[in-house]
Structure 1
């Protein structure tokens, strides 16, 4: 027995009085065989496992020795079901990231895989839980980012109080759904555009655009001081978080090696940790800071929930003071509306010291260091104080009328992009939904009642309403449009009471059939806003105008959409 193993065994016996020495040795041997982990690296995990298998070591420990009988297979649907010490685990997962790294195991350099998995692969990504994994069995050909896999015979361990999945040498990994994502060579520096599309280890050559102190509050109440900001190259911009500081000023060109791209609300962020290597880089052809700063400004149509350190030029068209409750204390803030040629959005200044009056509006401003949250699906740009806002003498564009500010957009851009306001689209009606017509809404939550009952609030006296659901197709993409009562009554040229009377006389099916005969293949111009998430995208219409007949016949539309 080596001195290192002897010390590790004694550490476990000291930590778990009454533990069986042979069982401890068996555990160290298992970690060495299955995970290539030496005694020093495995000691914490061995202590945890021995505590669970030693009577009286912990309150809920089992009295059964793990080497007395094989552990049955554990079928896992959600990663929340995993606990440290689980063995023979079977699960299906989406591979979010896989990377190969070199690791020194008992003096020998070995290549192992590591990355991140997401459970519930058939659910939207917003409803999944992720977990870090280590692949000890050289399954790189199967663990392709973007693929769905079935893993059998894995185990769970714990590191820094986080459960991890260990894909052992004996584990079986099979592909359920192949990946369509391109393979990117990470051995060389990537562009920011490339790095933004993946997760995991990357190297990047970029110029630092901003570098500011930031405090992160952890779940256990600790405050961690980090540096954060933006880096940029000719292909784009990315935010970063430097956990051990970053001693380079804005404008410095750097080469960053072995950083990690992580995603928050589906937005990439470069994590710079202790193992990351950063060095100043020299390239006379690399764009300067002024050029990159101009490129890094965001238009309103590009704002996404979760963005931070946002720089934008826009006009303030509305601003009001209001009181909010923050952690039990009243706080005065200012909120209003921003407009630029690409759209409009809400904004909030979290300060009572705001030197903007109604007479100043519309006011062109240059905003820096802002962040984006979402309110009812609408981007809300948050600014800490007036220090982040610079007044501009003139607007960089011609005058915008806020009462008639509609931005033409293609459905393909709206479906793939973030939620937006003040959009105008042109397309053909290819479907009218079965649920169109008079409805009743819950007075508590505005949900549609089914059999006079709300799923959350039970039986209710509903609020009468009217809606139309249709599908719009512009030849490239399609999107569901929802018409509220005002828009529906205007398009139908009849109010809700008249619609109810018509349905009573002829029946709902006849009423819907008449709508389809008159509307299918008609071209319409819709003005409103979009609400887009990982599940679907909707066009919430304020107004709908007929534009004529499309190139598609009614019969073609019916055949294509199965109506």
Structure 2
């Protein structure tokens, strides 16, 4: 049923103005309230005492592990693990939402509350008539106007940690209401085109003993300065270029703390582990370069956006006067999987053994820009390298933007034997 048809049906049965009902219905649906729940909410608003399906008693009591995206409404008794708060905007209206995780003895589930139910981590509550929606392929509870929340006196024992304290290595996209203690490794103030026009934000990198992750502070906090250590309460995590990214908001509490230790070492993984993780911000891989791909050596970039151009044509800016650059795109294989390693100009110059100017002179002497890529391929192919950088995985494959690249000095034959033994060959 379309929204217009639903509004007409409600207006007819309730005996009220259709335009008014439609406006209310549009607002509820815009906040992701399921249609059935929105209709029940409006029936109660307009005094339809005979309406059914709107109370907590109508929604079946369910264990969390049994909830699926096929469910409409459920009632659960659960422990509140985390509570986060942030502001969203839809159709020009600001809306404060509350979100986090609930758990019982059978499992965990995320929730979004469109009303302040005064949830506190550690509370045991019975949530009645909660809507169920799909979020990233999983069921999520939707706590709206027709939901009831009752605080239980007897605490529910659950096999999960209460509270949002996490190390950076444990953060995952979709986490909400998390608390981290980190050192600010890099920070840069930027101006972006935000929802209220030009907006100042902070972009940078956090670090702790376990990992490093990018962050964005959408409401710049004075305490977030390079070199400082801070405790951040109520951050949420999304995905940026295939890796978790920490988001600091106006609702985040930022407190200066004693210096947080940060490991100088990247997380060492096999290529397969890194690819299966879906992306890792700071990772170290070791393997053999088996191929230097097309698009390596001397390339040309758009002066406006930095994209690689062909025949002076940029996909975004049309015909341009391109700028010369150096790059390497090489396939690294460690016996478990392979990844495309991308070296920027500085690392490419180290591999090439000369500067961009040297490369341009060599290309002019040979009247062939391809000689630079040929020289690089001859240097790299077949050798074992240790690479550190940020790995992202998308529909085009796995790519690692390298920050460090050096020959490992290891024995490829011994490592190959070890990998073969691990897979039982």
Q: TM-score per shorter chain, which class?
A: 0.5 to 0.7
Rounded Cα–Cα distance in structure 2 between residues aligned with 1:213 and 1:520: 51
Shift of 1:343: 2.6
What is the TM-score when the length of structure 1 is the normalising length? Answer: 0.52
Q: Does 1:368 align with 2:236?
A: no
Q: Which residue is equivalent to 1:37?
A: none
The correspondence for 1:309, drawn from 174, 177, 198, is: 177
Q: 1:448-479: per-residue Cα shift (whole Å, max 9, x none)?
A: 11112212222222111111111222222222
CA contact (8 A) 1:409 1:424 kept: yes
Shift of 1:393: 4.2
Secondary structure of the corresponding residue to residue 551 of structure 1: helix
Q: 1:135-173: per-residue Cα shift (whole Å, max 9, x none)?
A: xxxxxxxxxxxxxxxxxxxxxxxx99xxxxxxxxxxxxx
Rounded Cα–Cα distance in structure 2 between residues aligned with 1:518 and 1:284: 64
CA contact (8 A) 2:299 2:308 kept: yes
Q: Name the CA shift for 1:450/1:41 in 2 (closer, same or farther; >3 Å).
A: closer
Q: Does 1:189 align with 2:58?
A: no
Rounded Cα–Cα distance in structure 1 between residues aligned with 2:134 and 2:267: 33
Q: Name the CA shift for 1:249/1:515 in 2 (closer, same or farther; >3 Å).
A: closer
Rounded Cα–Cα distance in structure 1 between residues aligned with 2:155 and 2:195: 51
CA contact (8 A) 2:298 2:369 kept: no
Q: Name the CA shift for 1:512/1:348 in 2 (closer, same or farther; >3 Å).
A: closer
Q: Which residue is equivalent to 1:100?
A: none
| Greater gyration radius | 1
CA contact (8 A) 1:341 1:407 kept: no
Q: Does 1:543 align with 2:404?
A: yes
- Structure 1 stretch 233-242 or stretch 415-424: which is displaced more? 233-242
Q: Gapped runs of 5+ residues in structure 1?
A: 1-30, 32-39, 48-131, 134-158, 161-185, 555-563
CA contact (8 A) 1:201 1:258 kept: no
Q: Which residue is equivalent to 2:294?
A: 434
CA contact (8 A) 2:167 2:180 kept: yes
CA contact (8 A) 2:238 2:245 kept: yes
Q: Which residue is equivalent to 2:305?
A: 445
Shift of 1:307: 4.6
Q: What is the aligned residue count?
A: 365
Q: Name the CA shift for 1:489/1:245 in 2 (closer, same or farther; >3 Å).
A: same
Q: 1:483-529: per-residue Cα shift (whole Å, max 9, x none)?
A: 11211221232334544565664967787667556544422101222
Root-mean-square deviation over aligned CA pairs: 4.8
Q: Name the CA shift for 1:236/1:323 in 2 (closer, same or farther; >3 Å).
A: farther
Rounded Cα–Cα distance in structure 1 between residues aligned with 2:202 and 2:367: 53
Rounded Cα–Cα distance in structure 1 between residues aligned with 2:332 and 2:124: 47
Secondary structure of the corresponding residue to residue 311 of structure 2: coil
Q: Name the CA shift for 1:212/1:528 in 2 (closer, same or farther; >3 Å).
A: closer
Q: Which residue is equivalent to 1:381?
A: 246
Q: Which residue is equivalent to 1:260?
A: 132
Shift of 1:443: 0.7
The correspondence for 2:167, drawn from 299, 302, 305, is: 299
Rounded Cα–Cα distance in structure 2 between residues aligned with 1:429 and 1:457: 34
Q: Name the CA shift for 1:389/1:512 in 2 (closer, same or farther; >3 Å).
A: closer
Shift of 1:234: 7.6
Rounded Cα–Cα distance in structure 2 between residues aligned with 1:187 and 1:430: 57
Secondary structure of the corresponding residue to residue 272 of structure 2: helix
Shift of 1:370: 1.4
Secondary structure of the corresponding residue to residue 491 of structure 1: helix
The correspondence for 1:422, drawn from 276, 279, 282, is: 282
Q: Gapped runs of 5+ residues in structure 2?
A: 13-33, 40-59, 417-425
What does 1:390-429 correspond to in 2, within 5 Å?
Answer: 390-393=255-258, 395=260, 399-400=261-262, 404-417=264-277, 419-429=279-289
What does 1:45-124 correspond to in 2, within 5 Å?
Answer: none
- Structure 1 stretch 462-471 or stretch 542-551: which is displaced more? 542-551
Rounded Cα–Cα distance in structure 1 between residues aligned with 2:220 and 2:118: 34
Secondary structure of the corresponding residue to residue 444 of structure 1: coil
Q: Name the CA shift for 1:213/1:386 in 2 (closer, same or farther; >3 Å).
A: closer
Q: Name the CA shift for 1:506/1:443 in 2 (closer, same or farther; >3 Å).
A: closer
CA contact (8 A) 1:521 1:550 kept: no
The correspondence for 1:201, drawn from 65, 68, 71, is: 71
CA contact (8 A) 2:238 2:246 kept: yes
CA contact (8 A) 1:354 1:386 kept: no
Shift of 1:217: 3.6
CA contact (8 A) 1:522 1:549 kept: no
Q: 1:324-359: per-residue Cα shift (whole Å, max 9, x none)?
A: 77566776665553111233234344556635677x
Shift of 1:438: 0.9
Q: Does 1:526 align with 2:384?
A: no
The correspondence for 1:270, drawn from 102, 118, 141, is: 141
The correspondence for 1:471, drawn from 322, 331, 343, is: 331
CA contact (8 A) 1:437 1:467 kept: yes
CA contact (8 A) 2:351 2:379 kept: no
Q: Does 1:490 align with 2:346?
A: no
Q: 1:377-411: per-residue Cα shift (whole Å, max 9, x none)?
A: 7755332359612344464xxx436xx45332332
What is the TM-score when the length of structure 2 is the normalising length? Answer: 0.66
